Each structure stands twice: as structure tokens, then as C-alpha cells.
Amino acid sequence: MLQRSALLNEAAVVHGFTTRHGGVSAGPLTSLNLARRGGETDAALDQNWARVAAALGMPDAPIGLASQTHGVTVLDGDAATGPGRFELGEGDAIVLTRPGALIAVRVADCVPILLSAPGAVAAVHAGWRGTVAGIVERALDALLARASVGPEQVRAAIGPAIGPCCYEVGDEVVAGLLAVAPAEVALRPGPRRAHADLGAVNESLLRAAGVRQVERVGPCTRCSPDHYSHRREGEATGRFAGVIGLRARP
Ligand SMILES: [Zn+2]
């Protein structure tokens, strides 16, 4: 159900990247779908999120979620109340400083990024548009401001996303990515068109912003039977999540 980052585990950060296993959703959404999709029920979503929160050891926590738009808005996760899922509004990153809560971004090929600093955490949804627009830097800036620390204190986990093996892209994406990263980081030659590595671009953006501790976690989602993939399964597929939180103070 959950894949974790060794780097975040070392700092005892509550977190995980979900797989598509261990939930109650049926059909093309089988089984741990975590976002409103055609054919999904509120009861299944509630049950799936309850299982994720329980697996993270925080069954009663509010879970702050974003209505993702491929933009650069960073939401305040402290506004979430629970238990269970809580919609914070439109945005592509969430920052949390309130103990006893979780935040999450939902993906199916886009890049989920979890950031941790002493006293604050963030979750980031980075597709190619958000990556080019600077969503990971915006989220990092918000995290550093809320935690009052420097980037050297941040740990970053970049989760399962479509890899350069499968992410064939057109001229618009190539031009966008080359504006923010060198070709040797962003692109690979493909049999027809260029292939892109969004995870590598986001890692390079974090390192350029001074984050030294960055880990890549998980497989290519289009190659992996354990993840939802928009490229493989189309619009009907579900969403898995990158989840991070702060334990309640004892
Ligand atoms: Zn692949």
C-alpha cells in the first residue's frame, strides 16, 4: 500500500507514496484510488483514505487535499479539519506546520514530491507545466518561510512518476523544460521524439535552490503494474498519492 523514502524515514517523518493496492475501488480504479473520478463513490474514497491514514499511524488525522490545476499556487494545509479528507481549494502544493495532520497530492504519471524541514512539511504536484512554472521552488520557499530554516535543512523525496523510458514529449514540452534545466538532465533521445525526465528536472531545480538531500523513490508509473498511469490506461484511470504529515505532540 505504501512505499517510503529512506531519507525521510531517517528523520522519522510520517509519509508515504501509495500504490494502487489495498483499497476498495472497483473496475479500472482498482483498488486504492484516492481522487474523485468517473464511477468512484464517496464511500470508497472515504474508506481508501481511512486505510492510508491508518497505515501511517494517524487514523484520526485531517488530510488536506488540493484541487490540482498545473499552476503555482501553494495552499495552507493548517486549514484542514478532520478526521478524513478535506479539500483546501485550488493549488498544486500544500505546506503544513500543524501537528496531528496529513497533506497529500494525487498523481498518475505527474511527479509527487514530499519536502520535510524541522517543524514543517510540504507536498507538491509537478507535471511538466507546473515544473516549468516553478511549483517546486514556490513550495520550497513557502516551506522555508514557515519553518524559518535554510534549504540545507530540507529533505526531499521525489516519488513514482512517468520515467524517461516512457515519457515521449512534443516540441512545446521540450522548449519548456529546456528553459529550466540542461538538455542532459531533462531529455533523452527517443525512437520517434524526445523523451523527458520530469523527476530529474525537479531534482535539479531543488539542488539549484540549495537542497542537498534529495532521494528518488519508486518506478516509472507507466511501466509499473502497481501504479495508476494516465499514459497507459487513459482518462479513466485512478490516482495514487504522495502523503506527508506531522505527528501530534505527545
Ligand atoms: Zn517506463
pLDDT tens by residue, 67-124: 999 999 999 999 999 999 999 999 999 999 999 999 999 999 999 999 999 999 999 9
User: CA angle, corner 132, sides to 131 and 135, nearest 5?
Assistant: 45
Q: Which residues contact 120 (CB under 8 A, 6 or more apart)?
A: 95, 96, 97, 143, 146, 147, 246
Query: Which band of pLDDT confidence, cut at 50, 70 and 90, is reported for residue 175?
Result: very high
Amino acid at 50: A
Q: Where do the DSSP E strands lie in the chain?
A: 2-3, 14-18, 62-67, 74-76, 84-90, 93-96, 101-107, 111-117, 120-126, 155-158, 187-188, 195-196, 213-216, 240-246
pLDDT at 108: 98
Ligand 1 centre to CA of 164 (Å) is 7
Instruction: Write out pLDDT tens, residues 32-50.
Output: 999 999 999 999 999 999 9
- Could you say which DSSP state residue 78 is in? G
State the Cα–Cα distance between residues 83 and 61, nearest whole angstrom. 5
The answer to whether the beta carbons of residues 185 and 205 sit under 8 Å apart is: no
Rounded to an integer, the average pLDDT of 159-178 is: 98
Q: What is the mean pLDDT of residues 152-177?
A: 98
Residue 163 alpha carbon to ligand 1 centre in Å: 5
183 CA distance to ligand 1 middle (Å): 19
pLDDT confidence tier of residue 214, bands split at 50, 70 and 90: very high
Structural domains of the chain in order of their starting residue, each with its CATH number: 2-239 (3.60.140.10)
Which pTM was predicted?
Answer: 0.99
Say yes or no to pLDDT of 250 above 90: no
Q: Where are the beta strands (DSSP E) in 108-207?
A: 111-117, 120-126, 155-158, 187-188, 195-196
pLDDT at 249: 84
- C-alpha cell at position 150: 535554510
Q: In this structure, which residues have their CB less than 5 angstroms from ion ligand 1?
A: 163, 165-166, 220, 222-223
**How far does residue 169's CA lie from ligand 1's centre (Å)?**
13
Is the model's pLDDT at 217 over the cut of 90?
Answer: yes
d(C-alpha 104, C-alpha 107), whole Å: 10
* CA 224 / ligand 1 centre spacing (Å): 7
For residue 140, give the C-alpha cell. 520550497
Q: Residue 242 C-alpha to ligand 1 middle, in angstroms? A: 19
